[in-house]
Amino acid sequence: MNKYLVTVRDFEVEGTLDKRMQVRGEHFKTAAILKQEGKLLTGGALLDETTGKFIGSFLTVAMDSKEKVIEYMKQDIYGSSGVWDVDNAIIQKILPASL
């Protein structure tokens, strides 16, 4: 299984932050399942340097391919509801250090 670092920004349109907060609970339920399956290693929010508001997400995942990562992101409520700009996500294969 490959490991990937994902950085995905939220769409910069009116109402995206409100939408993020509305579907956040469902997003966390999906994340918990992926964590149990060993597919989600860590993740969290990207914050605006000035305001501290949510502007996106970062994830480290273990999946078979970059295509599987994209598939997951599109199916996640943040992707399917228009919070994440999945088409412009940065998905980089990584090799985590054993510390």
pLDDT per position as a tens digit, 21-32: 999 999 999 999
Q: What is the pTM of this model?
A: 0.92
Where along the chain do its domains lie?
2-94
- What is the dotted CATH code of the domain comprising 2-94? 3.30.70.1060
Three-state SS sequence of the chain: CEEEEEEEEECCCCCHHHHHHHHHHHHHHHHHHHHHCCCEEEEEEEECCCCCCEEEEEEEEEECCHHHHHHHHHHCHHHHCCCECHHHCEEEEECCCCC
Q: What pLDDT score does 67 carry? A: 97
- Across the range 62-73, mean pLDDT stands at 98
Q: What pLDDT score does 66 carry? A: 98
The answer for residues whose C-beta is within 8 angstroms of residue 56's C-beta and 6 or more apart is 7, 8, 9, 10, 45, 46, 84, 85
